[in-house]
């Protein structure tokens, strides 16, 4: 070890370690021993804002452990130097290579061996976690004797979202540490346990403020920290009959959310625990085998694709947006949520509306959204302070970006732009949240079209990840870059699209929704239609979706889209028009295509024998519209299209996106099927010209 002063890079980050005798850097790890004889192992992945558990991290840890086994210090503390958090999980980019060379089991065993050695160190080991400890990062922390959570820390296993379960010891270490049913719940849902919950569950031994980390580490070393232990329940569940019963319940709950043939991982995890729970050694061996098998499945392969699609959209959202102040006009369903979410994400926003009640409601929405985002009480207050109701619209003069979210009426929007542009800074951007009006048409109503674009958020804003950034021929590219970066700062995924009726997402989704209506007109029950879509892998069928969105909105979108697209859409069903006329607009009215109670549709009636081409009748019009959007360059490429459809509509992620599905199934086969269906059901099924380019 060299005698370097100490981890200078940490100074000013709140992560200073204080004086130490020596420091050593080995790849992603920095190591220093302080005057109390505690060795600090600091994870600091070079050239990255966040830590992932890569092969180099495991290798580096192995080297440090060899030294620590020979010359054991008073204690070892593991923590991260990144302000972003502890560690985000395994480095997924290394997986394909391991798979290709058949080295997954070997790499897993090597990783397990290193964490086993960490666990076996004869001195106390302490993980200090700030921010998120996810996946393999959480598993690293679990291999330590103690976990100290800095306020705001969270722990989770998001592996199910990648078609996997934990693979670096998480299955047996977490079920051993805390109540096994709680452990299984965390692993099966992929949800994180935030600080308070982590402490309650016994994942974190103590919650500390950053400035007290050293003191708390000292207390752990002296054995002054009480550890919760998994208690009676764990002992009961170490008996097989109790586990059998519990596993059966878990399977039933899982089946409500995901089918085994679509998402095998949660079922494999339940099997694993049912067979081996309570026996760490057996569970470890089984975890490695099961993880290696899951990694090879189509589901996991496609979900990794989705992971990288997300990264691609995130990368497009990097860069400076130079938007310090936002002004939103229209505090309705969308405007209020856009303003609230922006304030929650740390930006100042003024919100204008002619209706003061809407502004009042927007303040309450900010509190609600901030709480849902797990902000502390003080942070909730700060977010509310940043969200300023502005009935007179003074904020427009100071804003760098103005988002218009008034009702869908071209005349009204044009009038508002005129008033706004007189007040706005000349270099500020004006964006519309319209979902069905032409952005090119609206650009004709503004004085500075080069600074005008669409910024199409989806409902509910806080939860929907995608935002369509809609350019029109006169929009400055730099403006689009800034809007994409602005979306990134809101933790949203921007997809750049060009102006077309419905842009990309609604263009592709509308034929699917309208086809569902046609099927109802033909006598197919709504429940059978939804079941077919859910079996394909949508989180919710089209009929339920239409009822939830509102049949009035669906009708308006269908009407406005029908007028502008190349190919005729399905006739808008009389039943849909009648329901809207009667005020039966769906969930919000208590009645629509379904009858609703307690926010749930009544799906009891379904057909014994639905049409055998039901799934294709729903999915193929959607795929065909995607091909049309590619051909017309509404979206630049298949990857962006797949990402947009997954993140905006929930299109079966395990299928990797609509174009990936089309490619896997075979474009020629789909083309021929469309020709056949056009013969049977009408010209709306005629395949788009673009199929031949695929
Ligand atoms: P909304 O009717 O809920 O809200 C519109 C708000 O604008 C109301 O509060 C109203 O008082 C206010 N308003 C009307 N005239 C105004 C004026 N002159 N100055 C200031 N405020 C005024 O509408 P919404 O559902 O939030 O939709 C707004 C926009 O977002 C529309 O263009 C819509 O197409 C688009 N959009 C809606 C959804 C959705 O699901 N609702 C989704 C995506 C996009």
Q: Domain 8-295: which topology?
A: 2-enoyl-CoA Hydratase; Chain A, domain 1 (3.90.226)
Beta bridge partners of 131: 85
Residue extent(s) of CATH 3.40.50.720 domains in the chain: 321-491
Residue extent(s) of CATH 3.90.226.10 domains in the chain: 8-295
H or E segment and range at residue 129:
strand 125-129
Residue extent(s) of CATH 1.10.1040.50 domains in the chain: 505-693
User: Catalytic: 456?
Assistant: yes
User: Catalytic: 468?
Assistant: yes
Cα 169 to Cα 579: distance, rounded to the nearest angstrom: 55
Q: 476-517 pLDDT, tens per residue?
A: 999 999 999 999 999 999 999 999 999 999 999 999 999 999
Residue 625 sits at φ, ψ, to 5 deg, of -65, -35
Q: 550 CB under 6 A from ligand 1?
A: no
User: Catalytic: 433?
Assistant: no
Beta-strand relationship, 132-134 and 192-194:
unpaired
Class of domain 505-693: mainly alpha
User: Catalytic: 459?
Assistant: no
Q: What value does the mean pLDDT take over residues 355-368?
A: 97
The pLDDT score that the predictor gives to residue 565 is 84
Confidence band (pLDDT; 50, 70, 90) for 231?
A: low
Q: Is the pLDDT of residue 361 over 60?
A: yes
Q: 354 CB under 6 A from ligand 1?
A: yes
Q: What value does the mean pLDDT take over residues 2-24?
A: 42
**Of 435, 518, 525, 625, which one is the catalytic site residue?**
435
The pLDDT score that the predictor gives to residue 25 is 66
pTM: 0.88
CA distances from 50 to 47, 54, 132, 365, 377 (A): 9, 12, 10, 31, 26
Tokens of 210: 């950053």
State the average pLDDT for the chain: 93
The pLDDT score that the predictor gives to residue 227 is 81
The pLDDT score that the predictor gives to residue 24 is 65
Cα 507 to Cα 667: distance, rounded to the nearest angstrom: 20
- C-alpha R_g of the chain: 27
Q: 301-355 pLDDT, tens per residue?
A: 999 999 999 999 999 999 999 999 999 999 999 999 999 999 999 999 999 999 9
Cα 359 to middle of ligand 1, angstroms: 13
CATH 1.10.10.1150 fits 321-491, yes or no: no
The pLDDT score that the predictor gives to residue 232 is 67
**Of 64, 112, 456, 660, which one is the catalytic site residue?**
456
Residue 541 sits at φ, ψ, to 5 deg, of -75, 170
* HEC-encoded secondary structure of 395-444: HHHCCCEEEECCCCCHHHHHHHHHHHHHHCCCCCEEEECCCCCCHHHHHC
């Amino acid at each position: 070890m060299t005698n370097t002063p100490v981890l200078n890079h940490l100074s000013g980050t709140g992560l200073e370690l204080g004086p130490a005798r020596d420091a050593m850097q080995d790849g992603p790890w920095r190591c220093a021993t302080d005057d109390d004889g505690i060795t600090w192992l600091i994870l600091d992945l070079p050239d990255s804002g966040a830590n992932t558990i890569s092969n180099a991290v495991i290798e580096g840890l192995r080297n440090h452990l060899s030294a620590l086994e020979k010359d054991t210090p008073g204690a070892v503390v593991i923590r991260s130097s990144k302000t972003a958090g502890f560690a985000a999980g395994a480095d997924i980019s290394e997986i394909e290579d391991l798979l290709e060379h058949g080295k997954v089991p070997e790499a897993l065993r090597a990783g397990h061996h290193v964490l086993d050695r960490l666990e076996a160190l004869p001195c106390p080991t302490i993980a200090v976690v700030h921010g998120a400890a996810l996946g393999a990062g959480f598993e690293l922390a679990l291999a330590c004797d103690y976990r100290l959570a800095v306020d705001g820390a969270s722990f989770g296993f998001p592996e199910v979202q990648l078609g996997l379960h934990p693979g670096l010891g998480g299955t047996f270490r977490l079920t051993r540490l805390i109540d096994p049913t709680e452990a299984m719940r965390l692993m099966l849902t992929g949800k994180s346990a935030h600080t308070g919950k982590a402490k309650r569950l016994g994942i974190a031994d103590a919650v500390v403020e950053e400035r007290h980390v050293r003191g708390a580490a000292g207390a752990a070393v002296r054995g002054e920290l009480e550890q919760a232990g998994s208690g009676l329940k764990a002992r009961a569940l170490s008996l097989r009959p109790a586990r059998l019963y519990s596993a059966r319940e878990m399977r039933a709950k899982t089946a409500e959310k995901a089918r085994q043939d679509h998402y095998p991982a949660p079922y494999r995890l339940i099997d694993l625990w049912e067979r081996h729970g309570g026996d760490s050694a057996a569970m470890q061996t089984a975890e490695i085998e099961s993880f290696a098998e899951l990694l090879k499945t189509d589901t996991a392969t496609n979900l990794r694709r989705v992971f990288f699609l997300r990264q691609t959209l995130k990368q497009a959202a990097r860069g400076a947006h130079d938007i310090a102040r936002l002004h939103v006009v229209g505090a309705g369903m969308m405007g209020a949520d856009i303003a609230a979410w922006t304030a929650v994400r740390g930006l100042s926003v003024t919100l204008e509306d002619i209706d003061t009640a809407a502004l009042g409601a927007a303040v309450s929405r900010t509190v609600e959204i901030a709480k849902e985002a797990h902000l502390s009480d003080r942070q909730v207050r700060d977010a509310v302070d940043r969200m300023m109701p502005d009935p007179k619209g003074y904020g427009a003069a100071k804003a760098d970006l103005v988002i218009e979210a008034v009702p869908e009426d071209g005349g009204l929007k044009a009038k508002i732009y005129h008033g706004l542009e007189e007040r706005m800074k000349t270099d500020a951007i004006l964006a519309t949240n319209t979902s069905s009006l032409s952005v090119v048409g609206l650009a004709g109503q503004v004085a500075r079209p080069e600074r005008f674009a669409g910024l199409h958020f989806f409902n509910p804003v806080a939860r929907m990840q995608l935002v369509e950034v809609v350019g029109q021929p006169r929009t400055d590219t730099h403006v689009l870059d800034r809007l994409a970066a602005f979306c990134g700062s809101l933790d949203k995924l921007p997809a750049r699209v060009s102006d077309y009726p419905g842009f990309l997402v609604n263009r592709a989704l509308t034929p699917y929704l309208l086809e569902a209506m046609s099927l109802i007109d033909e006598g197919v029950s709504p429940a059978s239609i939804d079941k077919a879509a859910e079996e394909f892998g949508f989180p919710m069928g089209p009929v339920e979706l239409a009822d939830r969105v509102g049949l009035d909105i669906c009708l308006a979108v269908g009407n406005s889209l029908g007028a502008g697209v190349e190919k005729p859409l399905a006739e808008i069903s009389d039943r849909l028009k009648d329901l809207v006329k009667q005020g039966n607009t769906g969930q919000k009215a208590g009645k629509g295509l379904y009858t609703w109670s307690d926010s749930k549709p009544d799906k009891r009636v379904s057909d014994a024998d639905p049409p055998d081409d039901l799934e294709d009748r729903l999915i193929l019009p959607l795929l065909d519209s995607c091909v049309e959007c590619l051909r017309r360059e509404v979206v630049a490429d298949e990857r962006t299209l797949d990402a947009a459809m997954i993140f905006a509509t929930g299109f079966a992620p395990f299928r990797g996106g609509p174009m990936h599905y089309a490619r896997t199934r075979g474009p020629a086969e789909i083309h021929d099927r469309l020709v056949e269906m056009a013969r049977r059901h009408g010209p709306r099924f005629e395949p788009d010209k673009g199929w031949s380019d695929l």
